[in-house]
Structure 1
C-alpha cells in the first residue's frame, strides 16, 4: 500500500514562514571571501579593511581605562536614541573639514554608516520604489536596497562620476514608466568600488538635476578625509542642506567601535530617531564615549595624516604593479583617495568565473558583478590596497595578472575573440571606466 502522506526532507523547516522581504537578501560578495582571504598564504586584495596598526594603541588603552574608572556607570549605561550630545557636537567639527555647516540637533548617531543607510531606506522606501545608484555602486548599499524590496537602477558614469545628462534621462525614462523614485545614492569621494571622485562642478550639476526633478540625494562619505593627492573636495551637503549625509569613524579611526552618523533635515531626523529606537533603543553608548574620548585626547587630525601617508604608499605600489604586470587591453582607475582601484579586463573575460583560479593562485579580489544590481561588471574587478603592505600588494597584483594572462591564453586557444588594444591609464584622476 502506497503511503499517502509525503515526508519531504527540507533543509530549512521555516522556509514558508519568512517574509517576502527576505527574498531580496543576498550574501555580500566581500563577506563571502573573508574565510578564504584570511588564509596566510593568500594575498587579499578583496576586503576594504582599514589598517589600524598605526593607531596609538597604548595611549588609547590608558585613556579608555581612565574613562571607565572615572565615568564607567555613565558610559556603560543606556543612552539617547539620537546619540550622545558630546559626540554629536564633535562631529560638527569633523564635518566642518569638508565645508559642512551643521547643528548637533540634526545629527543621529548610528551603528556605523551602514545602519544609517538602512534607517534612511526604511523611512523612505516602500516595496517597488526605485533607488538610483552610481554604476558601479557599494555592495553593502545594494544589499540594503534589495532587502527592502527596492528596484535599483544604475545611472551611467564617466571618469568624473555620475553623468548629469544620463541622470536626467534616467529619471525621465523611469517617470514615463510610472516608477516612483525615492532617492539617488552616491559616494562622491573615492567611490567604492571605482575609486572615482566627482569634481565640485559635477557635484553641483548632480544636485541641480535632483533638485529640479524632486529627487532626494543621499551622500555616503566614509572616505572623504582620506584624500591622498590634494585637499578634500567639499561635501555635496555643504552646497545643499537638503542632502542627507552619511558619515563614519570606521576609516578615520577604527571600525570595531561601529559608530557612524546621519546628518539630515530636522523633520527627517525625527523619523530617523524613531527608527533607531525601534531597531536598537539607542546606538552603542560605550563606543560613542570611546570615540569622543579619542577626539578629545588625541591628535586625530595628525592621525589621519599618518593614515594618508600609509595609504598613499600602498596605492602607489598597486598602480605601479598594475602598470608593470597587467596584460594589454587592461585599464584601471587612479584613485585620488580612499581604498580601491577598479580594473577592467579585456573583452571576453569574466572575473566571477575566474575567481576560483585566482584563489588557487593565492590572490583574492572582488568580481565586478557584486557592485551591480543588474548583472553588469563581468569584466571588472575591485582591488583593495588599504590593508596589505606594499610588497604584498605587488605580489598580489603579479598573481592576479598571471591569472588574467592564463585566461587570455585559454580564450585565444579556443578561438574566442577579444580586443587586444593596449590601453594604459591616462594622466589624471582615473582611467576609462567602460
Structure 2
C-alpha cells in the first residue's frame, strides 16, 4: 500500500498525512512520569491526582443507585449539548460560594474542564494567534494552545501570582509588533503549578488591564474551594461578566473519573460553546451528570469538601515540615489551598536533567520545564502533596533532598576537576521513558 509518507524514512507511515496543527501535540511530562511513578516502591510527588479514597464509598454508591433506579431512562440516554438543566442549577449553588451570580442559561456542562479549555481554543485560536499565560502555567493548557498553532507568551509570576505591570508591558509589546492576542489564561486561586493565590487587588487590576485592551480573560478554577485556613478572594467572574469565561470542575471536589466540568460565558460565546460541544461529543455524559446531580441533591457535599480540605491541609503541612527539615537552604511557595508546592533550586541545577537520579532514588516529581512553552523553569520543581500519605510525603522529601544534595556535590566535583563521573551521564540517559528523557 502506498501511503503519503512511503517515500520518507519516518517510522510512522502516515506522518505526511497529519494536519499541520498536530505538530503542536507533544507528550506531557506529567503523563510520561506516570509509568515510573506508578511503581509501588516510588514515592510520587509528581501527579496531581485527587485523594478520592477520602470520598466515602457509600456516598457514591447511593448516588449511582438512585441515578439508575429513579432516572435510568434519562441517565442512559443522549442529553442536551448544554448539559442537564438540573445540574446546571446546582452548579449555580456551587459557584455562589465564590461570589458568582449567573443564570442557568449561562452554564455549559463539558466533559471535564479540560474539555471546556479545548473548546475555547477551538473557538478562538487561529495559527499564529497569541495566548497570554502565567509563567509557569498549567502543562496541558499549554499543550492545548500549541496544538491549535497558537503561541503561548508567558508573563512572570511572584509569590502573589501574575504581576499586573508585567502583563501590561507584555500586552503593549505584543500589540506594538502587530500580534493578535486572543485571551489571557489564568489560574488565580491555588495556582497549578506554583500553589500561589492572586490577591483581590491584583485580580481587579488584571481585569482592568484586560478591559482596556479588549482582551478576554479565561479564569480556570479547579481548586478554589479547597482552601485550608480561609477562602481565597472571590472569583474574577464575580465582578466581570462580559469579559471573563469561567471554567469549573467536579474533579477536585468530587471525583475526576466522572469527567464533568463546566464553563460560564457571555451569551454569544456560550452559544458557540454549545455548538462546539455538540460537534465534539454530541452531549456530555448523561449518566455522569445524573450521578453528580443526585450526589449534590442528597449528600452533605459541603461537608465532604471540608473533609477534603482537612486531608490536603495535613499533607501540605507534612510537605512544608519535611522541606524545612531536609532542604532548609532552598526556597518554596507556601500554598493556602490546592495541591502544589513550587520548589526553587539553585540556578545551576537542572530539574529535568536531575530527574533520572531521582527515579533511581525512588522519588518522582515534575520538572519546572513542563510548565513553560519557552523552555523556562529548569531550576524549579513542582511537588504535589494531594495523593501520598503524610508519611510517604516525608520520605519522598528526604529522598529528594538526597538527590539535590548529591547533584550539588557532583557540581562541586565538576568545578574542581572539570569532569563528571562516567556513570552519571549514562544514568541520565537510560532511566526515563523517551518522552521525558
TM-score higher than 0.5 here?
yes
Alignment of 1:393-408 (within 5 A): 393-408=393-408
Query: In proportion to residue count, which structure has more helix?
Result: 2
Counterpart residue number, 1:323: 324
Aligned to 1:112: 112
Q: 1:324 to 1:75 in 2, by over 3 A?
A: same
Does residue 270 of structure 1 match 2:274?
no
Given that 1:186 and 1:219 are in contact with CA atoms closer than 8 Å, whether structure 2 keeps it comes out as yes
Q: Do the aligned partners of 1:113 and 1:261 also contact (CA within 8 Å) in 2?
A: yes
Tell me what 1:217 maps to: 217
Provide Cα deviations, 1:50-78, integer angstroms capped at 9, x if missing partner. Answer: 00112121232133123212221110000
Per the TM alignment, residue 327 of structure 1 is displaced from its structure 2 partner at its CA by 5.6
Deviation at 1:416, TM superposition (A): 7.9
* Preserved CA contact (<8 Å) 2:139 2:371: yes
Q: Give me the whole-angstrom Cα distance separating, in 1, the residues matched to 2:291 and 2:106.
A: 21
Instruction: Verify the 8 A CA contact 2:116 2:262 in the aligned structure 1.
Output: yes
Q: Aligned residue for 2:141? A: 141
CA distance in 1, matches of 2:246, 2:288: 21
Alignment correspondent of 2:14: 14
Determine the structure 1 residue equivalent to 2:409.
Answer: 409
SS in 2 for 1:247: strand
Give the whole-Å Cα distance in 1 for the aligned partners of 2:18 and 2:295: 42
* Corresponding residue of 1:363: 363
In the alignment of these two chains, the number of paired residues is 411
> Contact 1:222–1:251 (CA<8 Å) still a contact in 2?
yes
SS at match of 1:117: helix
Q: Does 1:26 align with 2:26?
A: yes
Q: TM-score, normalised by structure 2?
A: 0.92
**Shift of residue 7, structure 1, vs aligned partner:** 7.0
> Do the aligned partners of residues 63 and 161 (structure 1) sit closer, same or farther apart at CA in structure 2, a change above 3 Å counting?
closer
Cα contact 2:361–2:403 (8 A) shared by 1: yes
Normalised to the residue count of structure 1, the TM-score between the two structures is: 0.93
1:82 deviation in Å?
0.5
SS class of match (1:381): strand
Measure, in 2, the Cα distance between the counterparts of 1:55 and 1:191. 23
User: Could you tell me how far 1:297 is from its partner in structure 2?
Assistant: 1.0
Instruction: Give me the CA root mean square deviation.
Output: 1.3
Higher alpha-carbon deviation: 229-238 or 265-274: 229-238
SS in 1 for 2:178: coil
Q: 2:296 maps to which residue?
A: 295
Instruction: Indicate the residue corresponding to 1:377 in structure 2.
Output: 377
Q: What CA distance in whole angstroms lies between the structure 2 residues aligned with 1:281 and 1:122?
A: 16
Determine the structure 1 residue equivalent to 2:178. 178
Counterpart contact for 1:42–1:364, Cα < 8 Å: yes
The answer on whether the counterparts of 1:327 and 1:401 sit within 8 Å (CA) in structure 2 is no
Contact 1:168 1:209 in 2 (8 A): yes
How far did 1:10 drift?
4.0
Q: Is the 8 A contact 2:66 2:294 kept in 1?
A: no
Unaligned runs of 5+ in 2: 1-5, 418-437
- The answer to whether structure 1 residue 125 and structure 2 residue 131 are counterparts is no
Structure 1 residue 8: Cα displacement: 6.0
Check conservation: 2:63, 2:292, Cα contact below 8 A.
no
What's the CA shift for 1:116? 0.3
| Matched residue SS, 1:184 | strand
Q: Is the 8 Å Cα contact of residues 339 and 386 (structure 1) preserved in structure 2?
A: yes
Contact kept in structure 1, 2:29 and 2:366, CA below 8 Å: yes
3-state SS of the aligned residue for 1:39? coil
Aligned to 1:80: 80
Q: Which residue of 1 aligns with 2:254?
A: 253
